[in-house]
């Protein structure tokens, strides 16, 4: 599976959802996640993300905590299939460290 990681938080550009052939993104208040049982590992979402927040689970950047978070919330959050406006400070916050502290459901 592919995994959404911390730099999505408070950016949520949503370019990823437009290209996913199986519509396996789910939307929380300030982050998206990928459902690990639905992702078909095509990889097309990776270059679409302006925050470079998506990694295959084989990549060290996709730490186990992120895979867990994607799995947990994909079951709870609503599906998202259409691009929407990024969050208000998306460009300013793109790349800042420690965004997990700002994660909200």
The binding site for ligand SF4 (CB under 6 A) comprises 2, 19-20, 22, 24, 34, 39-45
Residues near 9 by Cβ (< 8 Å), separated by ≥ 6? 30, 31, 99, 100, 102, 103
Q: Residue 44 binds what, of ligand SF4, ligand F3S, none (CB under 5 to 8 Å, by partner type)? A: ligand SF4
Q: Residue 9 binds what, of ligand F3S, ligand SF4, none (CB under 5 to 8 Å, by partner type)? A: none
Q: Report the nearest approach of ligand F3S to the CB of residue 86 (Å).
A: 8
Give the DSSP letter string of 5-27.
Answer: -GGGTTT---HHHHH-TT--EEE
Beta bridge partners of 3: 55
- The reply to whether 14 sits near ligand F3S by the rule CB under 6 A is yes
């Amino acid at each position: 599976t592919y995994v959404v990681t911390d730099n999505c938080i408070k950016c949520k550009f949503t370019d990823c959802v437009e290209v996913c052939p199986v519509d396996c993104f789910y939307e929380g208040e300030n982050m998206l996640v990928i459902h690990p049982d639905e992702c078909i590992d095509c990889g097309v979402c990776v270059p679409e993300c302006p925050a470079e927040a998506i990694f295959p689970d084989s990549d060290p950047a996709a730490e186990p905590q992120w895979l867990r978070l994607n799995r947990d919330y994909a079951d709870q959050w609503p599906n998202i299939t259409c691009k929407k406006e990024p969050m208000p400070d998306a460009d300013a916050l793109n790349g800042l460290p420690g965004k997990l502290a700002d994660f909200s459901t």
